[in-house]
Structure formats: structure tokens, C-alpha cells
Amino acid sequence: MNALHVRHLHHRFGLQEVLHDVGFDLFAGQSLALVGPSGCGKSTLLQAVAGLLEPSRMVMQNDFRGLGYMFQQPNLMPWLTARDNLALGLKALGVPKPARQRQADSLGQRLGLALDDLDKYPHQLSGGMQSRISLGRALAVSPDLLLLDEPFSALDVGLKLELYALLREQIAQRGCAVLLITHDLMEAVRLADRILLMAPEPGRVVREFELTLPQAERSEAWIHQTTGQLMENTEVRIAFGLQAGTLAIAESHDHGATHTGCKV
Amino acid sequence: MKGPWYRVQSALAAILTYLWSGWGAIASLLLFCALWEWGAQLNGPLVLPGPQATLAQLWHMLDSGLAQPELIISTRRTLQGLGASLLIGSALGLLAGRSLTAAMLSRPLITLLLGMPPIAWLVLAMLWFGMGDTTPVFTVFIACFPIVFAGAMQGARTLDNQLRRVAQAYRLPWRMQLTDLYLPHVMSYLIPAWITALGTSWKVVVMAELLSTTDGVGAALAVSRSQLDTASSLAWVVAVLALLLAAEYLLLEPLKRRVERWRLETEQ
Amino acid sequence: MSWQARLEALLQCGYRPFFLLSAASACCLMLFWLTLLNGWINWQPPGGMVLWHVHELLFGFAGAAIAGFLLTAVPEFTETANLPRTVLVRLALLWLLARVLYLLSPFWPASLALLPVALVNLLFWLLLLWHLLPRLWQHAGRMHLSFAWVVASLALLQLASLLANSLGGDPMAWLRAASGVLMMLIVIATRRISVNLVNGLIEEGRPGAPPPINSYLPRPPRSYLALFCIGLCSAVELWLGHNSITGWTALAAAAAMLNVLNDWHIGRALFTRWALLLYAGYWLIALGYAAMGASWLGAPLTTSAGRHLLTSGAAALSILAVMAVVGRIHAGLWLDRRPWLPLCALGLIIAAVLRALAGVPGLPIRALFSAAGLVWAGCFVAYLVAARGGLIAPRADGKTGCAAPLEHNAREGGC
């Protein structure tokens, strides 16, 4: 089975230690959420995994081939039409033009974009449509690992729910692994099979939660209730600064031994 | 599917639309002619011939075959100097923009070069190259170079890091990075710089010729000045301005619109 | 139908009496002018007959059309009540009195000159402004106030012209300026109408009408540039007269009008009779200014050739278009699809071109004058015949007032 294993990930920006001995595993078809407050090094971690950043130290084994990356902002190329933006990754893979345009058109339609809109440039599209294209761009390359860097944090509630549904549908169809980072617990509860809680200064993993209920069976009520339960967890409250206290910094930890899974 | 006939049609329509949108500029030029005519009527034809007299003189100069050779000589010099500065300035500017150190190093030099009056370069060029063809070409080059260099450097410096990450995350090959990331961004800085350089180049070439050569529009202006022939002088000026306007609005502006069509609000 | 019923119908909406007067005066004034030109009648008003011709066509024919348009459009634009009948009657009587007084002017003491005519005309404009200005002023944003400025400047220019005639000046110079203001009014007014007309919004409720489009969107800076150039040209002409400076400003006005046409080049949607009517009017303004500019810069043609492209061409065509549209929609009828309208429009264009050709040296002036005048007057006879229903007949839908057709109202949530 394809998997991503990360161990002993350390990173420093100048004198500041941003990530301290982070490790986790992600297996094909699973979705893993890294949750933590702003500034706990989540984005850095994701960039290290994607190879956009050279960490100070890391042991990584990555069997996944295709990679889809959805950024915090849509980050579309302003000089490419929506269609060409959707097909950017396909073009990089060398898919010939007619084929990639066909794929972009059908993907765009599945994401709720009209053919007219696909001819437009990003600045002519609303924020919601730009986010759809950003999601489409990540899905177009048929990734077996999807990296999501808080892509929904700036969207309104209605749009968020719509994009969650789209995302879940696509993941279910393609069976790709998802690595999601977010500061929104409820988002994590909604989308993830496992949640890793991160704490800042230095950024590290402090706790793992497992959600056993299949995503298709998660109701809104269950999501709210589970999020509420997590919010009452002491470590979560400390990590997000809702409660005074300190969380131990492991000198050097062996993943899986320090945090035993906690079933919710 | 959209056939080739449809493409030809829409291209023709786009060209017509573009040309037709020039009427606003023409209206503005005609208003300027009214102002000019007013000045001419106040000062008399010896001091300031009106637009009609000037155009008639220009027509006469073109008709008698007097103007064309001079215009061609000046145009060639401009294109040589400008072409060199566009090529070298753009290339060096882009390279300088890639490196923070090079940018730091070149910024004060650019300020220096931009601040140097072209007439000073001209004097140096006359000392170095004498009264030949090289002097105006060099002066044009050195006057335009810092403008283009600064534009190119700015373009390369301001590329959005986020977009660079996108290119990296999706493993864009280097050729695609060039065509889909660097060039479209850099062009939106380069083209305005090129347009400014074009305007500068014409001004400088006429000035350089006036002082350093025996042929070209500048030299012809010197002759008409010595003969107190205001109408001919103005006719030469109008000819140069017409060439400049044509180059900008028939060449560079369409190119700019083509390159920057992703910025335009009014695309249907 | 009884006279009372006809009168009742005629006075139910502001455009009705004035479009009737405008079209009727167009025919009468033009035919009378032709008889004067050919010397069949000897009638010498103070200031001469050319002054009469210009003055009456500008302030009689076009003036009535302007009044009719504003009396209908201003209540609609400002969402205020229609004007009461008594006001319409008073205005119409003042307008008629002004025309009659000018005709009688040769028969009173020469010392009075045109002063009575000036007084009655001034009263007409003042009464019109008295009723319209408060609405335009109080409307949110005062976005239609330019109409008031145009009416006020027309009134002032008319007064100046008639006073110049008595006090010793060039009355024609002021009338030429007034023709420039009329062109500005055309640009201002047709811009407001054209958005609804070209995009098909005006007939949105008509069963079987094509769905509205949104491809026509006039850009204000373009028409402001045109208005500025036209205004400047008139001002310079008033100041310097026949001068090449005036010529360059006229050419600038022509170019600015051609620039406005950028708004109109929207592909297939332009090729409807309504769009083409207004579009042709803009072209005529551009050509007229181009011809006048050429004349001022020394081309061998008279200025009046170009001027007639503006007045007998652009102004008459725009007035016909406005009368044909406003006079239907506000009578509760859908737009007129009969062939008389394009034929009349073509007639007006031909008449304007014939009249312009009379300004080119070497062509038979008399014949061209007469042909142009007859075709031109004929077009307005055709309008009177074809559109009489919307002017003097009661509304077919049983309503009264200026409301648009039923379905149209339903869309806007009226009852």
C-alpha cells in the first residue's frame, strides 16, 4: 500500500525553531488533518512534504506519485484563462492540448462552472469560482495525495459547505489520500479520519485523535457534537491558548509510543 | 468547434474595433490643432505657422522626395540604438532582478544613468566616436538602456512568490515556467518601459543629429533653423511625431493589449 | 368621435399635443419656406426670411418636439405625476401664439421688430422650466438635470438672437450656437433612450419579443468628450465665426462623435431598425461637423451644407425616432413594425444629403432645395398619417395617461 512516512522533521527560520521533531504516517485512501493555532508551523510542514521548502532535518518516505496542492489563496495565474488554469498541472505532465482542454471542460462542469466562465480570466471571476478552479487544478492531475493548505478559511459558510461536498465526492471517487491542515477543528472533524493536534512554539504534534465513523455517515449534528467534545479536551484548549498550561516538548519521541490513539 | 473562417472574422473585427477606438485620440489631436491655430493667429506665420501651413509644407517635402531619405536615416539610427537597448537592457535587467545582490548593486547605478542628461552623453559620444553614424546610435542606446533595464529588473523582482510555489508544486518544466509564469508577468513591466524608451529614442536621435551629423531629420532641422524657415522646422517635427505616434499606436499598443488582455475589464 | 373626446385623448399625455404640433409645423414651415424661396409669395419679416426659417425650424419644429419629449420623459425619469391638462393647454397655446406672432410681424410697426415674438417664446420656455425644473432638481442625485441646462441655454440663445435683431447684432450667430446645443441635447437624450431600445428592454413584455440583451453599454466619458467638443465648437464659432480655429474644433467634434460610435459597434444587435435610426443620427452629426470643419478650413463648400446635415439630417432623424418610439410606448402600444418608418428615415437622410449637396458649387441649387424640402416635409406627413392613433385617439387598452403597455407594467410590479 502506498504511504507517506515522515519522521524527525525539524525546521528553523533563523534562530526560531518552527517545527520540532514532527512525525506522522499517512496511508492511501486516508485523510489526515493537522490542526493547530496560527503560527504552529502547519504551512511549513506541508511545504516541506511537497518539496517546496528544504527543512533543516527530515526523514521522509513518500510512495505517492501524483501530487495535488490547494493553497490558502486560489493563486491562479492571472494571465491564464480559467480553463488553462485548471489544466496547468496536465500541461506540466505533457498532456496534449485538445485532451487537457476536454478534461478541464468536464472537470469544470462537475465543479459547477459554466463553459463561458472557463473562457474568463481569474480577475473576472468571483472568489468562490476562483476557489473552485483552485480545487479543480489540484484534482485535474488525478493525484493520489492531495495537500490542502487551509484552502477554505477565507470563504463564507455557504461556499465552504458546497466545496466540502465537492471535495468529499471527488475524494470518494478517486480514493486519494488527503493531508489537510487547518485551524478550524470543525473542518477537520468534517473531513478527516485522523486528527493530529499541533501546538506552537515550537510547532509540534501533541495528540492524535481518530474518527472512526465513515465520512458518508457523519451528520451535521454528529460533527457539531464531536467538535464540541474536542474543544473540551485540555490539550486542545491549551494548544489554542484557551486555557493556561504547558504541553511537554518531547526530547526526541518515537511516534506511536508517545501518543496512544484516542477514539472519539 | 470554431472554424478558421470564424477566427479570421473575429480577428478582423478586433482590428476594426481597435482602429475605430482611435477616434478619441484623433479628437484630442484635432483640439490641439485648434489651440495651435489660435497660437499661430496670435503670433503670425513667421513665428508660428498654423497646422494647415505646416501640413502643406510637409506634403510638399514628401512630394518633392526631400523628406523620405532623411526620415529613413533617422529611423534606422533610432531602431539600431533602441533595438540594442531593448535587447541588452531587457536581458540584463531580468538577470539583475533574479538576484537580490545584483539588484542592490544596480539600483544606484540606474539612478545615476537615468539622471545623466542625454546631451552630456552626446558630448562624450562626439569625443569618442566623432561626427559619424555611431554617435547618435550610441546616444540613443545609452539614453534608453536604463529605462528598459529598470523596467525589466522591476518585473523580475515583483513576481509573486505564491505563483512560483504553484509552479513548483505542479512541477512545471522550465520551458513552461518561462511561458506561463515569467514572461507574462515580466511583459507587463517590459512593455510600458519599451514604450517610454521609444519616445525617448526619437527625442534623442533628433537632438544627436542636430549637433553631430550632416544627414537625418536633426541635421535637416539645423538647416531649416539656419534659414529661419519655421514652416519646414515644424514640418520636420510633425513628421517625427507622426512616426512616433504610428509606432506606438500601430505597433506597441496592440502588442501591449495582446499581452495584457488578462488585465482588461472589458473583455467579453 | 366627438371633438371633446379627441381633445380629451390629445391632452392625456405631454407628448401628444407637442408631437402633433411638431410634425404638423415641420410640414407647414417647410412648404411655406419653399414658396418663399421660389418667390411665389412676398413676405418680409423683420430680420429677413432666412432668420425666420432657421428660427422657426429650431424653436418651432424642434422646440415642440423637445417640449413633448421632456413633458413625457421627465415625469417618467423622476417618477413624478404627469402634468395636468391645463398646463399642456397653456404651453401649446403659447407655442402657437409664438408662431402666429412671427407670421404677423411684417404687419406691425417696424419699431417693435421681433420683440413680441421674443417675449412669447421666452414665456413658453419659462413655463416649461417652471413645471419641470423642481422635479429635475428634487430627483435623487439630480442625474437628469442636464435637460434643464439645455432648455435654459436654448431659451437664452433664442432671446439673444431676437434681441440682436432689434439691437443691431448678428441674430444668426446665436441661432447657430442654438443648433449646437440641439446636437448636445440629441447626444444626451438618445443616450438615455438607447440603452432600453438597443438592448430590447423596452419591449420586454411583448409576447414573442426576443429576450433582452446587455451588449450595449454607453460609456459616459465618450459622450462627455463629444459634448465638450460640440460645445467648444459652438462657443468658438460664436466668438470667431468663420475661422480655421472653428474648423479644427468642428473636426474634433466630428471625431468625438465617431468615437461615441464605439459604444454602438456591438455586432448583430445593431441591425434593428431602432438601433440603426439612432446610430444613423450620430453618423449624421459626425458628417455634418466634418463638412463644416472642412468648409471653415477652406474646402470648396458652404458651411450651411454641413449645418443642414446636423439640423435637417441628424436633428430631424432623431426627432422622428423619438416621436416614433415615445409616441407608441406611452400610448400603450408596442413599437411600430410597419415599413413607413425605415422609409421615412431614409427619406430624411436623402433630404439632408440633397440639401448638403446644394452647398457644393456648380450643382443646381434651386432644384436641390426644392427636392430636399419636399421629401423632408413628406416624411412628416407620413408620420402624421401613420402615428395619428398614438396622438389623437384614446388608448386601446382603456387606460389614460402615459403608462407603457400592460405587460411592461406587470414586470415592473405596477397594478
Residue range B222-242, pLDDT digits in tens: 998 888 888 999 999 999 999
Nearest to B169 among A67, A91, A122 (CB): A67
Average pLDDT over residues A172-183: 83
- Contact flag C251-B33 (C-beta cutoff 8 Å): yes
The domain made up of A3-66+145-158+175-263 has a fold known as Rossmann fold (3.40.50)
- The CA dihedral of A145, A149, A152, A155, to the nearest 10 degrees, is -140
Average pLDDT over residues B140-168: 89
**Amino acid found at A141:** V
C42 φ/ψ sector (left φ>0, alpha ψ -120 to 50, else beta):
beta
Residue in C270, C272, C276, C312 with CA at minimum distance from that of residue C291 = C312
Query: Chains contacting B with at least 3 CB pairs below 8 Å?
Result: A, C
Cα–Cα distance between A209 and A260 in angstroms, integer?
9
Determine contact, residues A179/A32, Cβ cutoff 8 Å. yes
User: In what helix (H) or strand (E) does residue B102 lie, and over which residues does it extend?
Assistant: helix B100-115
What are the pLDDT digits (tens) for A78-119? Answer: 888 888 888 888 888 888 888 888 888 888 887 778 888 888
> In chain C, what residues touch B37 (CB-CB under 8 Å)?
244-245, 248
Global ipTM = 0.89
Mean pLDDT lowest for which of A31-45, B215-229, C305-319?
A31-45
Cα distances (Å, whole numbers) of residue B3 to B6, B14, C390: 5, 17, 49
> Which residues of C lie inside 8 Å of B (Cβ-Cβ)?
215, 222, 225, 229, 232, 236, 243-245, 248-249, 251-253, 255-256, 258-259, 261-262, 265, 267, 297-298
The residue of B16, B37, B266 whose CB has the most chain C CBs within 10 angstroms, and thus the best one to mutate to test that interface, is: B37
pLDDT at B12 over 80: yes
The answer to whether residue B257 neighbours chain A at the CB level (below 8 Å) is no
- Contact flag B172-A92 (C-beta cutoff 8 Å): yes
The answer to whether residue A142 neighbours chain B at the CB level (below 8 Å) is no
Nearest to B162 among A75, A80, A91 (CB): A75
Give B66→chain C minimum CA distance, Å.
26
Tell me if there are at least 3 CB pairs under 8 Å linking chains A and C.
no
Average pLDDT over residues A17-43: 80
Average pLDDT over residues A201-210: 77
What are the pLDDT digits (tens) for C365-407? Answer: 889 999 999 999 999 999 999 988 888 888 877 777 888 776 4
Tell me if there are at least 3 CB pairs under 8 Å linking chains B and A.
yes
Give B170→chain A minimum CA distance, Å.
5
No. of H helices and E strands in chain C?
Answer: 16, 0
**Model pLDDT, residue C406:** 60
User: How many other CB atoms are found less than 10 A from the CB of residue C82?
Assistant: 19
What are the pLDDT digits (tens) for B35-88? Answer: 999 999 999 888 899 999 999 999 999 999 888 999 999 999 999 999 999 999
User: How many other CB atoms are found less than 10 A from the CB of residue C79?
Assistant: 9
In degrees, to the nearest 5, what angle opens at C-alpha C46 toward C-alphas C41 and C52? Answer: 65
- Contact flag C258-B34 (C-beta cutoff 8 Å): no
| Of C93 and A170, more confident | C93
Select the highest-mean-pLDDT range: A245-254, B113-122, C92-101, C211-220: C92-101
Neighbouring C-alpha atoms within 13 Å toward the C-beta of B211: 19
Nearest to C229 among B13, B21, B31 (CB): B31
The answer to whether residue A92 neighbours chain B at the CB level (below 8 Å) is yes
The residue of B1, B158, B262 whose CB has the most chain A CBs within 10 angstroms, and thus the best one to mutate to test that interface, is: B262
pLDDT at C415 over 60: no
- Contact flag B170-A89 (C-beta cutoff 8 Å): yes
The answer to whether residue B258 neighbours chain A at the CB level (below 8 Å) is no
- Contact flag B172-A77 (C-beta cutoff 8 Å): no
> In chain B, what residues touch A79 (CB-CB under 8 Å)?
180, 184-185, 262
- Contact flag B184-A79 (C-beta cutoff 8 Å): yes
pLDDT at A255 over 70: no
Cα distances (Å, whole numbers) of residue B228 to A136, B45, B212: 71, 12, 20
The rounded percent of chain A whose pLDDT value lies above 70 is 92
The residue of A44, A71, A76, A77 whose CB has the most chain B CBs within 10 angstroms, and thus the best one to mutate to test that interface, is: A77
Position B266 confidence tier, pLDDT thresholds 50, 70, 90: very low
Record the cell numbers describing residue A40, joined without a space. Answer: 504552529
Q: Which residue of A has its CA nearest to B163?
A: A75
Identify the structural domains of chain C with CATH numbers, from first to last.
3-411 (1.20.210.10)
- Contact flag B180-A75 (C-beta cutoff 8 Å): no
The answer to whether residue B163 neighbours chain A at the CB level (below 8 Å) is yes
**Model pLDDT, residue B265:** 55
Nearest to B173 among A92, A123, A141 (CB): A92
- Contact flag A123-B169 (C-beta cutoff 8 Å): no
- Contact flag A77-B166 (C-beta cutoff 8 Å): yes
> In chain B, what residues touch A80 (CB-CB under 8 Å)?
180, 262
Average pLDDT over residues B199-219: 90
- Residue written as cell 506540466? A92
Cis peptide before A202 (omega within 30 of 0): yes
Query: Chains contacting C with at least 3 CB pairs below 8 Å?
Result: B
Average pLDDT over residues B243-254: 85
- Contact flag A79-B162 (C-beta cutoff 8 Å): no
Burial of A41 (0-12, 13-18, 19+ CB in 10 A): buried
Cα distances (Å, whole numbers) of residue A18 to A22, A35, A41, A150, C225: 11, 15, 6, 18, 60
The answer to whether residue B178 neighbours chain A at the CB level (below 8 Å) is no
- Contact flag A77-B168 (C-beta cutoff 8 Å): no
Determine contact, residues C389/C329, Cβ cutoff 8 Å. no
- Contact flag B181-A77 (C-beta cutoff 8 Å): yes
Cα–Cα distance between B90 and B194 in angstroms, integer?
9
Q: Which residue of B has its CA nearest to C261?
A: B20
- Contact flag C252-B50 (C-beta cutoff 8 Å): no
- Contact flag B30-C261 (C-beta cutoff 8 Å): no
Secondary structure (3-state) at B146: helix
Mean pLDDT lowest for which of A16-25, B140-149, C185-194, C244-253?
A16-25
Q: Which residue of C has its CA nearest to B30?
A: C252
Average pLDDT over residues A135-151: 84
**Model pLDDT, residue A248:** 67
| Of C15 and C196, more confident | C15
Q: What is the mean pLDDT of chain A?
A: 78
> In chain B, what residues touch C248 (CB-CB under 8 Å)?
30-31, 33-34, 37, 51
Determine contact, residues B21/C256, Cβ cutoff 8 Å. no
The rounded percent of chain B whose pLDDT value lies above 90 is 43
Determine contact, residues C230/C184, Cβ cutoff 8 Å. yes
Question: For the stretch A106-141, what's the b/e string if a residue is b when 16 or more beta carbons lie within 10 angstroms of its beta carbon?
Answer: ebbeebebeeebbebbbeebeebbbbbbbbbbbbbb
> In chain B, what residues touch A149 (CB-CB under 8 Å)?
none
- Contact flag B21-C259 (C-beta cutoff 8 Å): yes
Record the cell numbers describing residue C288, joined without a space. Answer: 455634418
Nearest to B162 among A71, A89, A122 (CB): A71
**Model pLDDT, residue C114:** 87
User: In what helix (H) or strand (E) does residue A210 lie, and over which residues does it extend?
Assistant: strand A204-210
The rounded percent of chain C whose pLDDT value lies above 90 is 56
Question: For the stretch C128-141, what's the b/e string if a residue is b when 16 or more beta carbons lie within 10 angstroms of its beta carbon?
Answer: bbebbbebbeebee
Nearest to B27 among C225, C236, C265 (CB): C225
In degrees, to the nearest 5, what angle opens at C-alpha C310 toward C-alphas C309 and C316? Answer: 95
**Model pLDDT, residue C230:** 96
What are the pLDDT digits (tens) for C48-92? Answer: 899 999 999 999 999 999 999 999 999 888 888 888 889 999 999
